[in-house]
Amino acid sequence: MKFVVLTIFPEMIDPFLGSGMLRLAAERNIIDARALNIRDYAEGKHRPTDDKPYGGGCGMVMKPEPLSRAIGAASEIAPTAKRILLTPQGRPFNQAMAHEFAASDGLIFICGRYEGVDERICQELVDEEVSIGDYVMTGGELAATVIIDAVTRLLPGVLGGDESAAKDSFSGGLLEHAHYTRPYTFEGKSVPDVLMSGNHANIEKWRRKTSLIRTFLKRPDLLEKRAFSREEKDVLTEWCRRIEEIVG
Ligand code: 4H7
């Protein structure tokens, strides 16, 4: 999978590509990820990548020509890749999109800076606008790294069987179960008995149950989009009964 990040701050992207899972994925030739500096495609003595907005107002706008040439260079590296603009106006990124992008044939990320990108770039040279959430950042670089991380860990051969993406939060539409490690007692709190029992059927059942209850307590919105198994219905019914007992 090819990733090309177009940015005026490649130094924000490079250390990220050179660490942890992404470095490993690159070493195994599962990904080929690089940042291109948009300024390298700018002309003139000062190689400006921004200019004043037509219509006036404060701030600057990302100039179209250097960006257009940078997108051209990225498309030569990854000809079939989807061109994504990271912007607060984009389609909200989620786990289903991570799977969709993992099945795609490469991704080119365009990282806006200043007050934004000339509209003609958005209309003519971008395939899709994506947002990583409802908040404002000074540039698209962190958004690109977030998406590269979420997509790469889904690629075959990146994670081991144990940490496989199939076991994730969200892969079954639920949050992950609780995790415990040594010591057995920490700040007066011990590990739940079932995890010490060695009974793997019971442990798995407890994990499914805690996943469901945590999702209900922390992210009930996730349950609204989801169907329930017989076992899950029984767990929720049992909790309803217990709550009714307390409320009276
Ligand atoms: C493209 C267009 C993504 C990129 C506009 C990018 C949040 C996200 C940016 C802008 C981003 C996200 C310019 C909008 C500066 C905000 C103050 C870079 N912010 N900006 N404005 N949620 N900013 O994915």
In the residue annotation, 153 being an active-site residue is answered as yes
**Closest of 126, 82, 76, 73 to residue 104, by C-alpha:** 82
pLDDT of residue 78: 98
Q: Is the CB of 173 under 6 A from ligand 1?
A: no
Q: Is the CB of 54 under 6 A from ligand 1?
A: no
Mutate to test the pocket of ligand 1, among 137, 138, 142, 146 (most ligand atoms within 8 A of CB): 137
In the residue annotation, 115 being an active-site residue is answered as yes
pLDDT of residue 167: 63
Nearest CA to ligand 1 atom 15: 115
Q: What is the Å distance from ligand 1's center to 86 Cα?
A: 7
Sign of the CA dihedral with 141 first, then 142, 143, and 146 last: positive
- 34 or 171, higher pLDDT: 34
**Closest of 220, 221, 179 to residue 203, by C-alpha:** 179
Q: With 70 as the cut, is the pLDDT of residue 227 above it? A: yes
Fold identical between 2-152 and 185-247? Answer: no
pLDDT digits (tens, 9 = 90+) for 44-103: 999 999 999 999 999 999 999 999 999 999 999 999 999 999 999 999 999 999 999 999
Structure tokens of 58? 């404060």
Q: Tokens 């994925």: give the residue.
A: 25
**Rounded (5°) CA angle 163-17-111:** 115
Q: Quick check: 7 and 111 in contact, CB under 8 A?
A: yes
Q: What is the Å distance from ligand 1's center to 240 Cα?
A: 43
Q: With 70 as the cut, is the pLDDT of residue 171 above it? A: no
Q: Quick check: 88 and 133 in contact, CB under 8 A?
A: no
Task: Kindly report the average pLDDT of the chain as a whole number.
Answer: 96
Q: With 80 as the cut, is the pLDDT of residue 22 above it? A: yes
pLDDT of residue 163: 73
Q: What is the pTM of this model?
A: 0.96
Q: What is the architecture, at CATH level 2, of domain 2-152?
A: 3-Layer(aba) Sandwich (3.40)
Nearest CA to ligand 1 atom 21: 115
* Domain regions of the chain by residue span: 2-152, 185-247
Ligand 1 atom, smallest distance to 130 CA:
24
Q: Is the CB of 88 under 6 A from ligand 1?
A: yes
Q: Is the CB of 58 under 6 A from ligand 1?
A: no
Q: What percent of the chain has pLDDT over 70?
A: 98
Q: What is the Å distance from ligand 1's center to 139 Cα?
A: 5
CATH of domain 185-247: 1.10.1270.20
Q: What is the pLDDT averaged over residues 110-136? A: 98
Q: Tokens 């010490």: give the residue.
A: 196
In the residue annotation, 113 being an active-site residue is answered as no
Q: What confidence tier does 172 reach under pLDDT thresholds 50, 70, 90?
A: confident
In the residue annotation, 168 being an active-site residue is answered as yes
Nearest CA to ligand 1 atom 11: 137
Q: What confidence tier does 225 reach under pLDDT thresholds 50, 70, 90?
A: confident
Q: With 70 as the cut, is the pLDDT of residue 178 above it? A: yes
pLDDT of residue 4: 99
Q: Is the CB of 172 under 6 A from ligand 1?
A: no
